[in-house]
Structure 1
Amino acid sequence: MALTCSDIIKFAVAIFLPPLGVFLERGCTCDLLINILLTCLGYIPGILHALYIILKY
């Protein structure tokens, strides 16, 4: 899997605002709601989920 410039930008966004990184990758889906919940429960789980979503798709 090759990384593009947009993926690198999404990684940077995901570190500062995890739900925005997921939104940029997947749009308004169930993944976004899960990420918002994880970010509210703890910032680190939200970041990890966002990075996972960006790497997976």
Structure 2
Amino acid sequence: MSLVTILLNIFLPPLAVFLKHGVGTTLVVSIILTLIGWIPGVIHAFIVND
């Protein structure tokens, strides 16, 4: 995992997921989790971008 991906996972989780997986259910889940709370969005981004 590159430094850019790690930084995007931390600061903009949905963008990081979008760049890896495109538009789909994974992106929707990431957006919802980020709206619920920033930490769940970051955790999800790290898991799916592993």
Normalised to the residue count of structure 2, the TM-score between the two structures is 0.91
Contact 1:22 1:32 in 2 (8 A): yes
In 1, the alpha carbon distance for the partners of 2:41 and 2:47 equals 10
Contact 1:39 1:45 in 2 (8 A): yes
Please, which runs of 5 or more residues in structure 1 have no aligned partner?
none
Please, which runs of 5 or more residues in structure 2 have no aligned partner?
none
Q: Percent identity?
A: 40
Normalised to the residue count of structure 1, the TM-score between the two structures is 0.81
Paired residue for 1:13? 8
Q: Which has the higher contact order (CA 8 A, sep 6+)?
A: 2
Aligned length: 50
Q: Which is greater in Rg?
A: 1
Paired residue for 2:47? 52
Q: Deviations over 1:12-54 (max 9, x none)?
A: 1110000001001101110000000000000000000001010
Computed over aligned residues only, the root mean square deviation of the Cα atoms, in angstroms, reads 1.0
After TM superposition, which residue ranges in structure 1, 4 or more long, deviate above 3 angstroms? none
